Amino acid sequence: MQTDDAASKILEATKNSGLHYKNSIPMIASENILSPLVREACNSDLHGRYAEGLPGKRYYQGCEDFDTIEEIGIELAKSVFNCNFANIQSTSGTNSNLGVLKALTKPGETITAVSTADGGHISHARMGAVGMRGLNLVTYPWNEERMEPDIDASAKLIREIKPNLVLFGQSVFLFPTPLKELSDAAHEVGAKVMYDGAHVMGLIAGNQFQNPLSEGADVMTGSSHKTFPGPQGGFVLSNSDDPKFIKRLNNGIFPGVCSSYHLHHVAGKAIALSEFEKFGEDYAKDIISNAKALANALAELGFDVLAEERGYTASHQVLTRHGSVDSGAGKEAASILEKSGIITNMNMLPGDTKAMKPSGLRLGTPELTRVGMGVSEMEDVAKFFSRALIDKENPQTIKNDVKEFKSNYQTVHYCFEPGPAYPGL
């Protein structure tokens, strides 16, 4: 292969990144890996093609085969998520949020959402999609002990300010949202209810978390690459049978926030939906079982794991506090862990105000579950944490042990053709 110096460095860094994850314990809650068939679709000629519009109503020629792909994908999404409407075009969860905000709000209108300090996603904030749409943001009162919106205070807030749209869902997402009570308050004042399930889409589809569209949400957005194990992309889903509402949602994505919408990822998304239809419920159950086991093991070893009174977690995430508020202890812990072969992310916890100096970590189990780890392995992972952060062993020693441990978990599971989790390395 002929390359110039820049291309060589880029390819080398790409390979090194893959090796880094292959030999480590990856625990970023928003990440996952692809099955061999999904990877094949994503690495296809579709990568450079365009198909603006909807199946059968395109602005380009040459889309007949892609129409077949998208039509199958839409029907699979409706089946997997048990809904009446699905748009699978969006290129990310944030892109999905932007499209729905365009469809359902006008600049200057009011929206309620979880604050970023309490675990809300940046797209729900003035710094993100909500701000780009020019919306007036009001955040919910928060119940720190239960790690959810305060039900009574939030319902009262909604009834008092009468927002145009109420948005639920988080980036830090341990437990189902009390959606029924709060959506009732929203509908009383004529607001639409939007649920951002980006982190928990796979858990929802696997019937292990909550069913927002049957609990009051008018529309659900989400990512296709977190607990739902597909390529990077997004979903927009609804149970509405109102043609005008459906048209607004479709138009919010195209031409609203997408032109070409990454056809190779749509094809991969459709295959991931097909695989999830067969394997998804088991995968979702195992993700949650592993998260619970990890939380319990960490707590037994002396770590401060949040939400003890609720059993720590009902999702794929575990939160740990490593020092006082705004101390930067989470950032320091994440750095030590990476040197020890464990990849995590620092995270703000209730009380923190400085995003770059938080006190906590957010830990996820989707990728570890995907490569075949189970409850007993979560105890092993917790022991690596203890060696690094409590016993303060030499990080290189731990890293060597992590590499040996991880060598037994190099195959993608919960798919039609199990294969290398980190191909080509």
Residue 141 CB contacts under 8 Å (≥ 6 apart), including other chains: 149, 150, 153, 154, 157
Q: Residue 424 has what pLDDT?
A: 87
The whole-angstrom separation of Cα 249 and Cα 260 is 17
| Strand pairing category for 136-139 and 317-321 | unpaired
Least Cα distance to 221 among 75, 46, 328, 102 occurs for: 102
What is the per-residue pLDDT across 23-56, written as a single tens digit (0 to 9) for each? 999 999 999 999 999 999 999 999 999 999 999 9
DSSP state of 113: E
Q: 236-265: per-residue pLDDT in tens?
A: 999 999 999 999 999 999 999 999 899 999
| Domain range 38-273, CATH architecture | 3-Layer(aba) Sandwich (3.40)
The C-alpha atoms of residue 171 and residue 148 are separated, in whole angstroms, by 12
Q: How far is CA 230 from CA 201, 217, 367, 414, in A?
A: 11, 24, 12, 12
Can you give the pLDDT of all 425 residues of the chain as single tens digits? 677 899 999 999 999 999 999 999 999 999 999 999 999 999 999 999 999 999 999 999 999 999 999 999 999 999 999 999 999 999 999 999 999 999 999 999 999 999 998 999 999 998 999 999 999 999 999 999 999 999 999 999 999 999 999 999 999 999 999 999 999 999 999 999 999 999 999 999 999 999 999 999 999 999 999 999 999 999 999 999 999 999 999 999 999 999 989 999 999 999 999 999 999 999 999 999 999 999 999 999 999 999 999 999 999 999 999 999 999 999 999 999 999 999 999 999 989 999 999 999 999 999 999 999 999 999 999 999 999 999 999 999 999 999 999 999 999 999 999 999 999 88
pLDDT of 1 reads 61
User: DSSP code of 126?
Assistant: T
